[in-house]
Structure 1
């Protein structure tokens, strides 16, 4: 049974100003990418991700439209719990590919809900402290021409 324990500061480390970009394939925009950082100083295995949700302009992004790239591997959000060999350090980003209609140019309110099981804080069998690494930020879409 997890215990919600700690809300982390430094949301600017989770969603940096340049984190939102167009996703193109063969010259056609097929969605967007979002770089998500970790603001927990020790780093955690990807399998510690208990909840991972993205909302853009108030609309939730379907997990079926997401692929998470990390260490040159692709995971669906539901597979993160199985990625116990992948260590997410503070200097590495998750590169999330979201396939779907292109975003309009300009600013977008982006929210990431990120609940992490703190594997270093076990209170008893199956009882871990939780880290809330969520963030909300207004980001400007970086288009292919701006790169």
Structure 2
């Protein structure tokens, strides 16, 4: 139901540091009708132009804080960091040289856990324009 809305066109861009492209980012929306703690994310898999993104290169940015993607999958990740419905969760991919400006085919698989139900897996593919 929410699959087509998980990837948003807003904010797709290169990430710069000290005048150099050090990566790129996409924004995700939650695949549920209400918010969840970030520790309830079971999976974020990203493919850009058919190439799988290494999970260890992904950083999540939320409410001014950064979390290495692999850290949120650990059992001791805090349970009080919430991703609310309507909020964007930025996924930054560390990649020297960033990504070429223009259109790219992006596929994301997002798995989230909710009370009393199995993990919800959403797959969304879109052509996104990177600035």
Range of TM-score over shorter length = 0.7 to 0.9
Runs of 4 or more consecutive aligned structure 1 residues displaced over 3 Å after TM superposition: none
2:51 matched to 1:59? yes
**Superposed displacement of residue 44, structure 1:** 1.1
What TM-score do the two structures reach when normalised by structure 1? Answer: 0.78
Q: Is the contact between residue 19 and residue 139 of structure 1 (CA under 8 Å) also seen in structure 2?
A: no
2:69 matched to 1:69? no
Hey, what's the Cα distance between the residues in 2 that align with 1:83 and 1:68? Answer: 14
The match for 2:31 is: 39
The match for 1:118 is: 114
Select which of 92, 99, 117 maps to 1:97: 92
Hey, what's the Cα distance between the residues in 2 that align with 1:19 and 1:111? Answer: 16
Hey, what's the Cα distance between the residues in 2 that align with 1:34 and 1:83? Answer: 24
Q: 1:21 to 1:96 in 2, by over 3 A?
A: same
Hey, what's the Cα distance between the residues in 1 that align with 2:122 and 2:35? Answer: 12
Hey, what's the Cα distance between the residues in 2 that align with 1:37 and 1:9? Answer: 9
The match for 1:140 is: 129
Hey, what's the Cα distance between the residues in 1 that align with 2:9 and 2:89? Answer: 15
SS at match of 1:132: strand
Select which of 9, 27, 30 maps to 2:2: 9
**Superposed displacement of residue 10, structure 1:** 5.2
2:79 matched to 1:87? no
Q: Is the contact between residue 8 and residue 26 of structure 2 (CA under 8 Å) also seen in structure 1?
A: no
Hey, what's the Cα distance between the residues in 2 that align with 1:83 and 1:59? Answer: 31
Q: Kindly name which structure, 1 or 2, has the bigger radius of gyration based on alpha carbons.
A: 1
Can you give the 5+ residue segments of structure 2 that lack an aligned partner in the other structure? none
SS at match of 2:8: coil
Aligned residues: 127
What TM-score do the two structures reach when normalised by structure 2? Answer: 0.87
Select which of 4, 10, 15 maps to 1:18: 10
**Superposed displacement of residue 104, structure 1:** 1.5
